[in-house]
Chains A and B, each alone.
Chain A
Amino acid sequence: MAPVISIRGLSKTYASGFRALADVDLDIRRSEILALLGPNGAGKTTLISIVCGIVTPTSGTVTVDGHDILRDYRAARAMIGLVPQELTTDAFETPRNALTFSRGLFGKPADPAHIEKVLRELSLWEKRDQRIMTLSGGMKRRLLIGKALAHEPRILFLDEPTAGVDVELRQDMWRLVRELRAGGVTIILTTHYIDEAEEMADRIGVINHGSLMLVEDKVELMRKLGRKQLTLQLQDRLAVVPPALARYPLELAKDGHELTYTYDAASSASGIPALLDDLDRAGIRIRDLQTSQSSLEEIFVSLVSERG
Chain B
Amino acid sequence: MNLFAVRAIYRFEMARTGRTLLQSIVSPVISTVLYFVVFGAAIGSRIQEVGGIGYGSFIVPGLIMLSLLTQSVSNASFGIYFPRFTGTIYELLSAPVSYLEIVVSYVGAAATKSIVLGLIILATASLFVPLHIDHPLWMVAFLVLTAVTFSLLGFIIGIWADGFEKLQIVPLLIVTPLTFLGGSFYSIDMLPPFWQKVTLFNPVVYLVSGFRWSFYGLADVSVPVSLGMTLVFLLVFMAIVAWIFRTGYRLKT
A residues neighboring B (CB under 8 Å): 14-15, 52-56, 73-78, 80, 82, 84, 86, 88-93, 97, 100-109, 147
Contacts and interface: CB of A to CB of B under 8 A. Distances in A.
Given A55-B253, A82-B90, 4 more contacts: A76-B96, A77-B95, A97-B12, A102-B8
A78 B87 contact: no
Interface string B88-112: 1011111111100000000000000
B252 interface: yes
17 contacts: A52-B93, A54-B252, A56-B248, A56-B252, A77-B94, A82-B91, A93-B12, A93-B15, A101-B9, A102-B8, A103-B4, A104-B8, A105-B4, A105-B8, A106-B5, A106-B95, A107-B2
B46 interface: no
A52 B88 CA distance: 14
B91 A105 contact: yes
Interface string B1-21: 010110111011001100100
Given A55-B252, A88-B88, A101 B96 contact: no
A102 B5 CA distance: 8
Contacts of A89: 86, 88
Nearest to B83: A90
B252 A147 contact: no
Contacts of B88: 88-90
A212 to B, nearest CB: 21
Interface residues of B, number: 26
Contacts of A75: 96
Contacts of A55: 252-253
A104 B93 contact: no
Interface string B202-242: 00000000000000000000000000000000000000000
B96 to A, nearest CB: 4
A90 B86 contact: yes
A109 B3 CA distance: 10
A56 B252 CA distance: 7
A202 B18 CA distance: 47
Nearest to A104: B8
A78 B96 contact: yes
Contact of A54 (B9, B90, B96, B97): B90
A14 B248 CA distance: 13
A148 B97 CA distance: 16
B90 A101 contact: no
A160 to B, nearest CB: 14
